[in-house]
């Protein structure tokens, strides 16, 4: 058995455990595999691809999984003097271990105590999912191609979710036409979630069912059924994949948030901290942003190049700027983190969408924002953040019809998403600009119901109500704007919301009529 000794640590490669003396340290097997590879090549660069092959052999995973595990290693090593610098990041090359080694790199088995595998620490991986081959329930073997093609499109769509590790088709398809034990499959593939389903085709009609299961608990997280007419096979596969991916992403997000609430804070990774911040980030108000900022700053301490954390921070500072005093340092911080998210997250659609929104609102750089949104749409055309927030910017710049189209698509795909109020926010702006005041009021009321602390939708609702002739109700709603945001002014809102004066002026005029201050 290979035992690697370095500094005060001992790494048991066979048992996949790192020890300090007789203490087994809380590292999952992925992290241990990475550490073993780095120590074996001590002093030499190890590429990201080589490390991924060592820790996730045969699996297609996102690079972010690697950075999370490296961050976990660094936290453990940092408990020794100078240990925080034992793993070096080599830009565009990978990583290198430069820490001390023992007298011999490989020592006898007795160098580490035995530990019962049942007492091993839990893995510290990001969420992972396997999409199993859908069952062909038509009784026609020739329909297998349609079922397999649909699953391949779903795998492709899921792989664009940056925070999710997706098992490759080659690995999950070994279970085709075999009895399925979800827990056994999850253990073998090292995944937390499993997506399965079936396809029944009769003539030109097809029924597709899908269900998402938490393999660790057996709980069903989501299920749906799609009935369609087959006209263009490839277009239908694309549509089903978009619907499935768009629907299960919020289910996974919710399941991950519930999981992290049960976890001890001492075990938090950068990803865990990001999850915990989410409920505060998207409330849109400075008081909530203040709760998220320390969590995100800690995440960046663990993982400085974490694009999603930069994006979330940019939105927090945007909220603090727009509704917390219009301080220039908050605006500049929002732009700084947005640019970092764009630079580091070229393959993260969510991070790009948030960054683009901030660049438009706080940087008033609509040209760059649209380019970043276009890149995010290329990565994932069913991502709720991309659809909703590109719709918001399109609405505030007068492109109302495209804004309405994207927002309505977001509502169709994300009807179970607790954050789908963002689509209604974009609709309220677009409908108001098009003088469709009743629809604007309905959309704004949906936002108020879903996110009661957010002041801007209340202002939009007040404006729509006064245009509908409901002056008393409009003034009452305007008073609640000031209750939520005592510093609200029309000119202050213009500093971050006015992207096109022709769009903003009708709002400003209505707000003056209901008594909101200039």
Question: Do 88 and 183 fall within a single domain?
Answer: no
Question: Do 312 and 249 fall within a single domain?
Answer: no
207 - beta bridge partners? Answer: 200, 227
Mean pLDDT by 10 residues, the chain (518 residues): 68 67 67 83 82 77 74 79 82 81 43 36 61 84 80 85 80 78 76 88 86 84 87 81 83 77 66 85 85 92 90 93 86 93 87 92 90 88 87 93 93 79 94 96 94 91 96 95 91 85 94 94
Question: Do 138 and 156 fall within a single domain?
Answer: yes
Question: Do 104 and 12 fall within a single domain?
Answer: yes
Question: Do 99 and 209 fall within a single domain?
Answer: no
Question: Do 217 and 240 fall within a single domain?
Answer: yes
Question: Do 9 and 114 fall within a single domain?
Answer: yes
For β-strands 106-107 and 135-136, DSSP reports them as unpaired
Q: How far apart are alpha carbons 509 and 425 in whole angstroms?
A: 19
Question: Do 133 and 217 fall within a single domain?
Answer: yes
**What's the pLDDT at 112?**
33
Domain harbouring 363, CATH code: 1.25.40.10
Question: Do 161 and 76 fall within a single domain?
Answer: no
Q: How far apart are alpha carbons 290 and 283 in whole angstroms?
A: 11
Residue 292: domain span: 263-380
Q: Return the half-sphere exposure (C-beta side, CA atoms, 13 A cut-off) of residue 66.
A: 24
**What's the pLDDT at 103?**
42
**128: which DSSP letter?**
E
Domain harbouring 20, CATH code: 1.10.10.10
* φ and ψ of 113, to 5 deg: -70, 155
Contacts of 209 (CB under 8 A, 6+ apart): 197, 198, 199, 223, 224, 225, 226
Question: Do 392 and 503 fall within a single domain?
Answer: yes
Structure tokens at 301: 């301490």
With beta carbons less than 8 A apart as the criterion, state whether 53 and 71 touch. Answer: no
* φ and ψ of 433, to 5 deg: -60, -35
With CA atoms as reference, report the closest residue to 111 among 102, 121, 99.
Answer: 102
The residue out of 328, 356, 380 marking a domain boundary is 380
Kindly list the distances between the CA atom of residue 249 and the CA atoms of 96, 418, 515, in Å, as whole numbers in the listed order. Answer: 35, 11, 41
Question: Do 375 and 425 fall within a single domain?
Answer: no
**What's the pLDDT at 126?**
67
Query: E-strand spans in 162-291?
Result: 165-166, 193-202, 205-214, 219-229
Q: Which residue intervals of 96-221 are DSSP H helices?
A: 144-158, 169-172, 182-189
Kindly list the distances between the CA atom of residue 497 and the CA atoms of 340, 375, 459, 513, in Å, as whole numbers in the listed order. Answer: 22, 23, 12, 19
Q: How far apart are alpha carbons 227 and 100 in whole angstroms?
A: 62
With beta carbons less than 8 A apart as the criterion, state whether 395 and 429 touch. Answer: yes
The residue out of 380, 408, 425 marking a domain boundary is 380
Prediction pTM value: 0.62
**What's the pLDDT at 144?**
81
The residue out of 225, 260, 295 marking a domain boundary is 260
* φ and ψ of 378, to 5 deg: -65, -35
Question: Do 320 and 408 fall within a single domain?
Answer: no
Total number of domains in the chain: 4
The gap between the terminal CA atoms of the chain, to the nearest Å, is: 75
């Amino acid at each position: 058995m290979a035992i690697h000794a370095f500094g005060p640590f001992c790494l048991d490669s066979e048992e996949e455990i790192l020890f300090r003396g007789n203490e087994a340290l809380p590292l999952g097997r992925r992290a241990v595999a990475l550490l073993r590879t780095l120590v074996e090549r001590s002093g030499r660069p190890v590429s990201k691809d080589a490390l991924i092959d060592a820790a996730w052999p045969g699996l297609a995973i996102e690079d972010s999984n690697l950075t999370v595990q490296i961050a976990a290693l660094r936290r453990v090593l940092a408990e020794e003097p100078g240990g925080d610098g034992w793993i070096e990041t080599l830009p565009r090359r990978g990583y290198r271990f430069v820490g001390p080694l023992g007298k011999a790199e490989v020592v006898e088995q007795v160098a580490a105590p035995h530990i019962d595998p049942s007492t091993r620490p839990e893995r510290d991986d990001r969420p992972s999912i396997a999409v199993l081959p859908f069952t062909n329930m038509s009784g026609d073997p020739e329909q297998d191609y349609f079922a397999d093609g649909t699953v391949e499109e779903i795998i492709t769509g899921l792989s664009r979710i940056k925070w999710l590790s997706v098992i490759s088709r080659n690995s999950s398809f070994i279970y085709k036409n075999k009895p399925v034990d979800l827990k056994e499959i999850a253990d073998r593939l090292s995944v937390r979630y499993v997506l399965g389903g079936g396809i029944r085709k009769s003539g030109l009609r097809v029924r597709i069912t899908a269900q998402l299961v938490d393999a660790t608990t057996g709980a069903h997280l989501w299920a749906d059924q799609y009935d369609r007419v087959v006209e263009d096979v490839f277009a239908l596969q694309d549509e089903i994949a978009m619907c499935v991916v768009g629907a299960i992403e919020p289910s996974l997000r919710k399941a991950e948030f519930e999981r992290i609430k049960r976890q001890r804070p001492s075990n938090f990774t950068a990803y865990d901290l990001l999850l915990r911040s989410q409920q505060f980030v998207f409330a849109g108000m400075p008081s909530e942003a203040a709760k998220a900022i320390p969590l995100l700053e800690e995440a960046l301490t663990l993982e400085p190049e974490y694009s999603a954390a930069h994006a979330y921070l940019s939105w927090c500072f945007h909220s603090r700027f727009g509704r917390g005093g219009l301080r220039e340092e908050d605006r500049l911080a929002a732009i700084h983190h947005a640019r970092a998210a764009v630079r580091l997250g070229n393959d993260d659609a969510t991070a790009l969408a948030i960054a683009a929104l901030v660049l438009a609102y706080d940087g008033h750089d609509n040209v760059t924002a649209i380019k970043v949104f276009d890149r995010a749409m290329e990565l994932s055309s069913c991502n709720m953040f991309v659809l909703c927030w590109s719709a918001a910017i399109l609405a505030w710049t007068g492109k109302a019809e495209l804004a309405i189209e994207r927002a309505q698509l977001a509502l169709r795909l994300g009807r179970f998403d607790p954050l789908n109020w963002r689509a209604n926010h974009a609709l309220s702006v677009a409908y108001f600009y098009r003088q469709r005041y009743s629809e604007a009021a309905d959309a704004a009321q949906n936002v108020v119901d879903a996110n009661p602390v957010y002041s801007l939708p209340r202002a939009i609702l007040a404006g729509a109500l006064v245009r509908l002739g409901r002056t008393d109700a409009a003034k009452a709603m305007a008073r609640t704007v000031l209750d939520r945001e005592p510093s609200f002014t029309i000119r202050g809102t213009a500093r971050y919301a006015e992207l096109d004066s022709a769009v903003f002026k009708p709002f400003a005029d209505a707000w003056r009529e209901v008594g909101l201050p200039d």
